[in-house]
Each structure stands twice: as C-alpha cells, then as structure tokens.
Amino acid sequence: MLCSSDPDMLRLLPALPSKWNAGDFHDILTRTGARVSAEWDMEKGRIELTLTAERDAHFDLKFPGKISNLECSHPKSLSDSDYGDLYRTVNLKKGEQIHLQIGLKINQ
C-alpha cells in the first residue's frame, strides 16, 4: 500500500513490500483533501513528497519510520503533531503545494 488516508490522517507508505526498496507514485487523491506524489529509496532512507491541496486541508501525516531530517518548501505549513515523532500536522489552503525532503533513520 502506497498511502492510506481518512479525513484527518495520511499514512505514507504504510505497508510497503520489502522488495520495493525504491519507487514512485504520482497524483493519488486522498481523503485528506490533498493530492500526493512521492519518490522513495528506502536503502538510502530518502523520501521526496509533494502535497497539493484540492481543498483547505488540516490533517496529520504519518511517516514510515523515524525522521533524521526534514526539509519543507513552506515550513509554516507543518507543525509538530500530538501523535508523536513519526507524525507532523499539515495545514494547507486550497491550491497550495508543499514539497518535503525526508531523511529516515536507517537501522544498521
């Protein structure tokens, strides 16, 4: 599964098969009101994510692992989540787009 959503939560790569170390998908419309595109390389612990708001959207985003670094094109659109370290709260107005570069901690 590439992403899972309900109106208040978007889970990124929640059930990625171990054989899919790298890949991408484009323009999946989620129940959060955001259109999602992503490219990942799990061996390098890298995910690039684009979120585009189809309507005003406020939701929590769950990452598939512990974050080592996170860069966002519009940092004010992200905030800490009450759910903990694997999550961020996203606030977007209709038509807004943000790009995230996510570094995951790799277990060695």
Q: What pLDDT does 18 receive?
A: 85
Helix (H, G, I), strand (E, B) or coil at 77: helix
Q: Compute the distance between CA of residue 75 and CA of residue 72 in angstroms, rounded to an integer.
A: 5
Average pLDDT over the chain, rounded to whole?
Answer: 96
In order, the DSSP letters of 26-59 are EEEE-TTSEEEEEEEETTTTEEEEEEEESS-EEE
**Which CATH number characterizes residue 67's domain?**
2.60.40.1180
Rounded average pLDDT per 10-residue block, the chain, 108 residues = 95 93 96 98 96 98 96 96 97 98 85
How far apart CA 18 and CA 108 sit, in angstroms, is: 16
Residue 34 near residue 57, CB atoms below 8 Å: yes
Q: What is the reported pLDDT for 1?
A: 84
CA 22 – CA 34 distance, rounded (Å): 23
Side chain identity, residue 79: S
pLDDT at 106: 82
Q: CA 33 to CA 40: how far, in whole Å?
A: 22
How many domains in the chain?
1
- Output the furthest CA–CA distance in the chain (Å, rounded): 41
* Containing structural domain, residue 43: 3-104
